[in-house]
Chains A and B, each alone.
Chain A
């Protein structure tokens, strides 16, 4: 803003100056520390209402969190070091909200929706002022419809065996450094490549992550062209627990905006274990009674009310959807801990990543036996359903036989063949990072594996042979892939054509 503009604006302010003197109800800070304050007064404040701490360096925002008999426990969202005992606190009469709009797409914001990517203000002066409350009731039963549209992740093991639908909540669970974030990043990248369907607006929420990791993710998404439809909400490890806690809800509010507009949105919560830690910290500081693992009694509710906001709306309500991919980090593979069991029971299925598989070189390390998708199969395309049915069966048989085969010295021919086929299919499901595969190619590759096109090939050569086969089909038989992509079906004619094409490929090798 230039000097003349400032003077002009100041002049206008002074000309239109009205002496507004009114009595306001206030409270006073009783104690403050670690991002938490106890405030006296404010008898008529409501839960989750915004507060304004009148510090010497200007107002600092907070939220009324604990309504006690003679004080209000508040979380401070700004610099709590500025807040001092005795300072006045006002309640603003509204719940915490974030400004939403398409302008957020491609930006990195904090838990309150403020830009943190150094690219200037998000909203212009002429942009509409739409605010969505951070906490909101989930859509009711009558506003919803069953999940029936697929959300392709581009990961073979997931799209074929544990399919995800738009509006579903699918948990990704596993130990640290096992590829949980890679799965969601691949999923986000694949949304831009999944042709024939509306590209969902993706929202990645980094809760308590290192800033360097967030920066790396943003750079990867930019490189892959995925920031064109992605919003990153960052509450890094250096930010207070209150912002870790709020980030998940703010991101959901942003996703809800697109869902209410009739669009599809995807929210990735990375991760809800840290989100639970932040709530535990806040609750203990507010002297709420601790329960199991020192979590407060309502720890289940904070996650259920968050994930319940994901929905597939019916046509009368715009037909939009909000898909949730929460991540939970386990300690030494213990899925029976408090938070993992809570979130498993809330979500519509889980993708379980196993350390043993990871160290055996299986990437992604998805344990297809323990992973499940409760609603996704009805969203799966007919083509994928057809080929994946056989894959699931053969892998199940393989797992069973492999366990017994360890003890047997001699195997009969059919058992040996089944074991070989199982190994081939396991190799087919291996996939590199940042290489999501379009669903029609996945269908063709899985069909090739289950129909025996790769039989007799050494397991270590399967991946390169698979890549070559897909490349061959893409270049020489693009019409088959196009038919599968456009129709979503795998008719007997398409199957026959694909079989011929695969025989042609085999003949070339």
Chain B
């Protein structure tokens, strides 16, 4: 039977809950072996993403990735937290190509792109047309 990434993630979470570190390691080892047997090792990355999503959801967190052209100014995280009214698991990324502004990615699904790069791309694409 073919299992989906979600089903694998759910099963892994169930097997890890309530175990001590030693047992968790053994579970993880068996999980990788099982995945290898079923020729699904290439899906490991996707399963772990699902696992992370599920784990954060259960703990009441939302994942927010902040991308900024330079080091993130102090206070931004608080502002985002205040706006989203939620416990947040933050990820930070520096990307000088954005030129200015900020890019916020919520739960890997919703993107708020308020960067100068996007605005300039938009102007140039209107030129091309």
Give chain A's interface residues, CB within 8 Å of chain B. 6, 9-10, 13-14, 17, 19, 21-28, 30, 40-41, 43, 56, 58-59, 69-71, 88
Q: Does B92 make an interface contact (CB < 8 A)? A: no
User: Contact at B111–A28, with CB atoms within 8 Å?
Assistant: no
Chain A proximity of B125: nearest CB distance (Å): 8
User: Contact at B4–A69, with CB atoms within 8 Å?
Assistant: yes
User: Contact at A25–B110, with CB atoms within 8 Å?
Assistant: yes
User: Contact at A22–B46, with CB atoms within 8 Å?
Assistant: no
Chain A proximity of B104: nearest CB distance (Å): 9
Question: Which residues of the other chain, A, contact B49 by a CB distance below 8 angstroms?
Answer: 40
User: Contact at A13–B126, with CB atoms within 8 Å?
Assistant: yes
Q: Which A-chain residue is minimally distant from B123 (CB atoms)?
A: A13
User: Contact at B5–A70, with CB atoms within 8 Å?
Assistant: yes
Chain A proximity of B102: nearest CB distance (Å): 10
Chain A proximity of B122: nearest CB distance (Å): 8
Question: Which residues of the other chain, A, contact B121 by a CB distance below 8 angstroms?
Answer: 58
Question: Which of chain B's residues 1-58 have a Cβ closer than 8 Å to chain A?
Answer: 4-6, 46, 49-50
- How far apart sit A30 and B45, CA to CA, in the bound complex (Å)? 9
Q: Does B81 make an interface contact (CB < 8 A)? A: no
Question: Which residues of the other chain, B, contact A9 by a CB distance below 8 angstroms?
Answer: 127
User: Contact at B50–A23, with CB atoms within 8 Å?
Assistant: no
Q: Does B70 make an interface contact (CB < 8 A)? A: no
Question: Which residues of the other chain, A, contact B109 by a CB distance below 8 angstroms?
Answer: 25-27, 41, 43
Question: Which residues of the other chain, A, contact B123 by a CB distance below 8 angstroms?
Answer: 10, 13-14
User: Contact at A24–B46, with CB atoms within 8 Å?
Assistant: no
- How far apart sit A58 and B108, CA to CA, in the bound complex (Å)? 20
The 3 closest A-B pairs by CB, nearest first: A21-B114, A26-B111, A69-B4
Q: Quick one: given A9-B127, A30-B46, A58-B121, are A69 and B6 in contact (CB under 8 Å)?
A: yes
Chain B proximity of A36: nearest CB distance (Å): 15
Question: Which residues of the other chain, A, contact B126 by a CB distance below 8 angstroms?
Answer: 13
| A-B CB contact pairs (8 Å), 30 listed | A10-B123, A10-B127, A13-B123, A14-B123, A19-B114, A19-B119, A21-B113, A22-B112, A23-B112, A24-B110, A24-B111, A24-B112, A24-B113, A25-B109, A25-B110, A26-B105, A26-B110, A28-B108, A40-B46, A40-B49, A41-B109, A43-B109, A56-B97, A58-B121, A69-B6, A70-B4, A70-B6, A70-B50, A71-B46, A88-B111
Q: Which A-chain residue is minimally distant from B114 (CB atoms)?
A: A21
Q: Which A-chain residue is minimally distant from B121 (CB atoms)?
A: A58
User: Contact at A23–B111, with CB atoms within 8 Å?
Assistant: yes
- How far apart sit A58 and B109, CA to CA, in the bound complex (Å)? 20
Question: Which residues of the other chain, B, contact A6 by a CB distance below 8 angstroms?
Answer: 127
Q: Which B-chain residue is minimally distant from A41 (CB atoms)?
A: B109
Question: Which residues of the other chain, A, contact B6 by a CB distance below 8 angstroms?
Answer: 69-70
User: Contact at B46–A23, with CB atoms within 8 Å?
Assistant: no
Chain B 90-112, CB within 8 Å of chain A: the 1/0 string? 00000001000000011011111
- How far apart sit A71 and B50, CA to CA, in the bound complex (Å)? 12
- How far apart sit A23 and B113, CA to CA, in the bound complex (Å)? 7
Question: Which residues of the other chain, A, contact B108 by a CB distance below 8 angstroms?
Answer: 28, 40-41
- How far apart sit A55 and B71, CA to CA, in the bound complex (Å)? 23
Question: Which residues of the other chain, B, contact A40 by a CB distance below 8 angstroms?
Answer: 46, 49, 108
Question: With contacts defined as CB atoms under 8 Å apart, how many contacts are there between chain A and chain B in the complex?
Answer: 51
- How far apart sit A321 and B71, CA to CA, in the bound complex (Å)? 64
User: Contact at A23–B110, with CB atoms within 8 Å?
Assistant: yes
Question: Which residues of the other chain, B, contact A59 by a CB distance below 8 angstroms?
Answer: 125
Question: Which residues of the other chain, B, contact A26 by a CB distance below 8 angstroms?
Answer: 105, 109-111
Chain B proximity of A189: nearest CB distance (Å): 37
Q: Which A-chain residue is minimally distant from B97 (CB atoms)?
A: A56
Question: Which residues of the other chain, B, contact A58 by a CB distance below 8 angstroms?
Answer: 121, 125
Question: Which residues of the other chain, B, contact A88 by a CB distance below 8 angstroms?
Answer: 111
Question: Which residues of the other chain, B, contact A10 by a CB distance below 8 angstroms?
Answer: 123, 127
Question: Which residues of the other chain, B, contact A30 by a CB distance below 8 angstroms?
Answer: 46
- How far apart sit A289 and B123, CA to CA, in the bound complex (Å)? 44
Q: Which B-chain residue is minimally distant from A30 (CB atoms)?
A: B46
- How far apart sit A25 and B113, CA to CA, in the bound complex (Å)? 11
- How far apart sit A22 and B114, CA to CA, in the bound complex (Å)? 8
Q: Which A-chain residue is minimally distant from B6 (CB atoms)?
A: A70
- How far apart sit A27 and B127, CA to CA, in the bound complex (Å)? 27
- How far apart sit A25 and B97, CA to CA, in the bound complex (Å)? 22
Q: A10-B123, A28-B108 are in contact. List 20 more A-B contacts (CB 8 A).
A: A6-B127, A14-B123, A17-B119, A21-B113, A23-B106, A24-B110, A24-B112, A26-B109, A26-B110, A27-B109, A30-B46, A40-B46, A41-B108, A41-B109, A43-B109, A56-B97, A69-B4, A70-B5, A71-B46, A88-B111
- How far apart sit A43 and B6, CA to CA, in the bound complex (Å)? 14
Question: Which residues of the other chain, B, contact A21 by a CB distance below 8 angstroms?
Answer: 112-114
Q: Which B-chain residue is minimally distant from A58 (CB atoms)?
A: B121
Chain B proximity of A57: nearest CB distance (Å): 11
- How far apart sit A14 and B124, CA to CA, in the bound complex (Å)? 12
- How far apart sit A24 and B126, CA to CA, in the bound complex (Å)? 20
Question: Which residues of the other chain, B, contact A19 by a CB distance below 8 angstroms?
Answer: 114, 119
Chain B proximity of A473: nearest CB distance (Å): 57
- How far apart sit A23 and B104, CA to CA, in the bound complex (Å)? 9
Chain A proximity of B39: nearest CB distance (Å): 13
Chain A proximity of B20: nearest CB distance (Å): 31
Question: Which residues of the other chain, A, contact B5 by a CB distance below 8 angstroms?
Answer: 70
Chain B proximity of A54: nearest CB distance (Å): 9
Chain A proximity of B91: nearest CB distance (Å): 13
